Structure 1
Amino acid sequence: MQNFKTQIYVGLLLLTLAVAVVDGYSPFMQVRHGTVVRAISDGNTTAEPVLANPYIAPLVALRPKSGKDEFTTSQGNDVFEVVYQWRIIDFQYPSLPARNNAIRTKEFIPENNLPLGVDRYRNRIFITTPRWNPGVPATLSYLPLPVQDPSIPLIPYPDWSFHTSPRNPDCSKLVSVYRIFVDECDRLWVLDAGVIDTLTNLQQICPPKLLAFNLQTDELLFTYVLPPDQVKQDSLHTNVVVDVRDDQCDDAFAYVADVWRYGITVFSLREFRSWRTTNYLYNPSPFASDYNYLDLNFQWSDGVFGMTLSPVHRDGDRMLFYHPMSSYTEFQVPASVLQNETIWQNFGLAKAFQPIGSRGKGGQSSTSGLARNNVQFFTLVQQSGVGCWDIAKPYNRNNLGVVEKSLDKLTFPNDLKVDREPKQFVWVISNKLPVFLYSKLNYTQINFRVLSADVQSAVLNTVCDPRTAPNLAYKQDSECDQ
């Protein structure tokens, strides 16, 4: 009987996807601009002519200069403000002797620290510093808002006692945190990859784990260790988003991206268990795996990475929008498919995963976030910029906007979050990661920035503004633009 019910569920879901996922729309998107498609007598459909602001393209100017590609700078918008910035990362130690001793013993090597993940909760900004190299003393920190000093040392969160030393690791503590997520239940979800020395001698010294902190008290709520059969050789778990419905805080789901082994692990808080999901659309695109940043050319085969949850649809489901890092394409899958563990015991449901559109060549993106006005913001790592998309419009390049591009301010924007404050802000961390990985940072210059822009200003005069009608023209991308 159970198998029969499952077959009915799968059949109905496939039918829904088949009729609903058309021209970048899904059953989980609400069109706010009236009827945009009308039937004609022969049964075909045609789009009403609607004008919209054009997508700013090309996003990357590929003008040869000494045999290398060259970036364009800001498009004229000056939306993002620098909140914090550093030439080199420092930490707030209990005392100067304690800091000097950490430097002497090489527990702290300042030039080996790079800020990666960011999120905001009320009067604090949270920042992660993964253990790429030796000499990272704390992997999760915070800074106060409003800002008193824009270059103050990072303050370990919740305090120094929660951070283990790789030399004698305590796996109950924080090892190497890549990204974090503040949910609507005042919790900070922390994804600890458990790996150290990623650049020099990668070691999985502790299993990957999820932790959650109560942000009102800073107390640890729980720790969940991913089971060994859900962690592959060379897995690297680097991003997490959390799904809460109707304030049911105890019934949350977390989606954890494995960027190197191309999977999403689903964690149920209510069941306190997890399962791994796989799909070929988690994989990178070979056409998007070649990067050019400043004078550096490098290849990354990073898979599923950026994830954004749509609003809950009237049928109770929602979409997970996602993209591999090395890809130009945005994809979607109903969250109900990911949450149904039975499906993943029976080889998954491949056709539930659908591409919804392309950002075009040069459109690699790391992370993304959704504001309350249903605008998705996403990083444009090769273009030193931040893009946007109103999810009520088809995902094509006529409906994708650029908030700002600036090689000075947004140089390699690596993480992006939209906060939950009454007046929402987009938060971005830029960190020159390729230079840190493959060359040498100039520590006489500003290398790392935390930036913010209020959502209303970010979409003003762009096609992402929900008040702007969609552009229904469709541009076919070539295979290498996918």
Structure 2
Amino acid sequence: MKSVIFWSLTAFFGFSHAAFKLEERYSWNQLDFVFPTRTLKDIAIASGTYIPQNALPVGIEHWGNKLFVTVPRWRDGIPATLTYIDTAQTISGSPQLIPYPDWRSNAVGDCVNGLNTVYRIKADKCGRLWVLDTGTIGIGNTTQNVCPYSVNVFDLATNTRIRRYEFRAEDTNPNTFIANTVVDIGKNCEDTFAYFSDELGYGLIVYSWEKDRSWRFEHSYFYPDPLRGDFNIGGLNFQWGEEGIFGMTLSPTRSDGYRTLFFSPLASHREFSVSTRILRDENRVDDSYHDFFFFPTERGANSHTTSRVCSEDGIMLFNLIDQNAIGCWHTSMPYTPQNHGTVDRDDEGLIFPADVKIDENRNVWVISDRMPNFLISTLDYTDTNFRIYSAPLQRLVAGTVCDITNRISSRFGLNSILSSKPSGSNLFTNAVGLSAYKSLNTNPLASPNQLQNLQSVNQPLNAQALQVPLQPITQISQITPIAQISQIQPLIYDRQYDVREPLTQSFTTKPLAPIFAPKSTPQSYYKSQIFTGTSQSQTTADFATAIQNLPKSPSWWTTQLW
């Protein structure tokens, strides 16, 4: 068992250290597969159809007692590309991989019944496994297109393929390379869309389950950043400067019934987003440029990422391939480095954490595979090269900036959230309550440089918003219902908007009475237009009464304290 003291010291002094929160479940020097008989395995090895050293695991997914592992056919000798581990039978060790759903379904070149190369996959809440077959074997200049790109969906209850859909010719281009899949379930299982990132063809392909049809979006945000193409991983320096849109994940459902798709090019340190309301509408393919958004602040140095996943309560996890780590961000907070945490790091075991998933029980699964060493250099097959870890989500984020269950962040530091409604005895403390709330008015902050987009929680800047002057927000209800009051928080956080109180009154009795407005707005405007008809009070009791019915979420308290 790892020592907490040792981990703390090594983390403090910057030494390499083992994963502290993630628990290693499986590991391999090289992959092995379950063959029907030993004789058939020997024949496969002798014929070159099975070459153990050529197999690299890249994707995982967990559902029930199955832990799926994908193995692309980048080199010869890969007997199956979609496999699984029976976690009920094998709880640890170096298990042989079982072809899913069977050997025939993994046949190379059988475009109707087989699978050629599979990367990242997704199991949905409707009991379906979404598998994109790229139809290729090889990689780079060895690539052969033996079949078209196809979406294959399996019924996990019966382990049978229930749909196969080939992308249209206009959905791809000669450079297309798709390695990521995200599934978006709406009102019911029929109302399902899947999104596929075209890393080298710089596109985003949408597939509608109900319509059984696909379409393609293109945008400049899908392209790599020419300044972020240098990588240092596993002791290697190399350049992946052409790598565009790669990692994707979906936010929880918003108040409008849609989600936000977060995405990032691989050669980039920046995050982008778009509402699924846009992606689901085929008619917006050629008319959606200004509906895509970018976050003005980068993640920070050495923050390339290929995989991310978001929980239903808004905790995003993402791999940090340069740092041998898994990062986190709570999507209710502004997208800035100070709101990004590291849930675990291992300079040996997490060299290239290729995929990260959260299952139906809120357990996190991570696979590491030393991919750059496999592709550019060589692997030492006497050493452990591939590992799969797991841990409960709450354990991973505990104590990080992403854990906002019991803590909030404010200009006064980290403070415990009130367990009961405010009262006269605590409203005037520096940490919480009226004193901190009023400090927004008594201590003006810097003038804004940019306009924060007001359309949804933490929505970043878009190309059009930069040209729009700051305007007062006369009522919070103009941009959000009361249940989503935390949407205002990023405006305050970014020092762009003040909370202004009516005239000379101390505070207000109505939940929506505080006015969020640009600092440049003349005070006369507030007196003449904004505060007309607003109910005011100057008693502490009235302030407590005014806010007691508001949701006491961490995001709401953060709103008040900033």
Matched, 1:331 2:269: no
**Aligned with 2:53: secondary structure?**
helix
Give the letter aligned to residue 354 of structure 1: F
Q: 1:156 aligns with which of 99, 106, 123?
A: 99
Residues 277 and 348 in structure 1, CA contact (< 8 A), matched pair in contact too: no
Residues 252 and 313 in structure 2, CA contact (< 8 A), matched pair in contact too: no
What do residues 180-212 of structure 1 show as CA deviations (whole Å, max 9, x unaligned)?
A: 001111111001111111155111111111111
Q: 1:437 aligns with which of 369, 375, 382?
A: 375
- State how far apart, in whole Å, the 2-side matches of 1:348 and 1:466 are: 38
Cα shift at 1:178: 0.7
Q: 2:160 aligns with which of 219, 229, 246?
A: 219
- State how far apart, in whole Å, the 2-side matches of 1:313 and 1:334 are: 10
Aligned to 2:395: 457
Aligned to 1:374: 314
Cα shift at 1:276: 0.5
Cα shift at 1:464: 0.2
What do residues 329-385 of structure 1 show as CA deviations (whole Å, max 9, x unaligned)?
A: 1111011111111111xx231111111242111000011011233100000001100
- State how far apart, in whole Å, the 2-side matches of 1:354 and 1:181 are: 25
Matched, 1:134 2:76: yes
- State how far apart, in whole Å, the 2-side matches of 1:297 and 1:426 are: 29
Q: Which protein has the bigger helix share?
A: 2
Aligned to 1:24: none
Q: Which has the larger radius of gyration?
A: 2
Q: 1:240 aligns with which of 175, 181, 187?
A: 181
Matched, 1:184 2:122: no
Give the letter aligned to residue 408 of structure 2: A
Matched, 1:297 2:237: yes
- State how far apart, in whole Å, the 2-side matches of 1:77 and 1:145 are: 22
Q: Superposition RMSD on alpha carbons, in Å?
A: 2.0
Structure 1 residues 134 and 199: CA distance shift in structure 2, 3 A: farther
- State how far apart, in whole Å, the 1-side matches of 2:141 and 2:225 are: 26
**Aligned with 1:177: secondary structure?**
coil
Aligned to 2:547: none
Aligned to 1:109: 51
- State how far apart, in whole Å, the 1-side matches of 2:114 and 2:258 are: 35
Residues 252 and 311 in structure 2, CA contact (< 8 A), matched pair in contact too: no
- State how far apart, in whole Å, the 2-side matches of 1:200 and 1:108 are: 22
Matched, 1:85 2:38: no
Aligned to 2:151: 210
Aligned to 2:226: 286
Q: 1:311 aligns with which of 231, 241, 252?
A: 252
Matched, 1:397 2:314: no
Structure 1 residues 360 and 149: CA distance shift in structure 2, 3 A: closer
Structure 1 residues 471 and 410: CA distance shift in structure 2, 3 A: farther
- State how far apart, in whole Å, the 2-side matches of 1:223 and 1:110 are: 30
**TM, length-normalised to structure 1:** 0.80
The alignment-based identity, stated in percent, is 37
Residues 236 and 260 in structure 1, CA contact (< 8 A), matched pair in contact too: yes
Aligned to 1:411: 351
- State how far apart, in whole Å, the 2-side matches of 1:187 and 1:336 are: 23
- State how far apart, in whole Å, the 1-side matches of 2:221 and 2:269 are: 12
**Aligned with 1:305: secondary structure?**
strand
Residues 104 and 113 in structure 2, CA contact (< 8 A), matched pair in contact too: no
Aligned to 2:63: 121
- State how far apart, in whole Å, the 2-side matches of 1:370 and 1:210 are: 23
- State how far apart, in whole Å, the 1-side matches of 2:19 and 2:197 are: 32
Cα shift at 1:149: 4.5
**Aligned with 1:359: secondary structure?**
coil
**Aligned with 1:111: secondary structure?**
helix
Give the letter aligned to residue 82 of structure 1: E
- State how far apart, in whole Å, the 1-side matches of 2:19 and 2:44 are: 43
**TM, length-normalised to structure 2:** 0.69
Equivalent residue pairs, number: 399
Matched, 1:354 2:297: no
- State how far apart, in whole Å, the 1-side matches of 2:62 and 2:92 are: 17
Cα shift at 1:295: 2.8
**Aligned with 1:313: secondary structure?**
coil
Give the letter aligned to residue 78 of structure 1: F
Structure 1 window deviating more from structure 2 (196-205 vs 438-447): it is 196-205
Cα shift at 1:466: 2.0
Cα shift at 1:297: 1.4
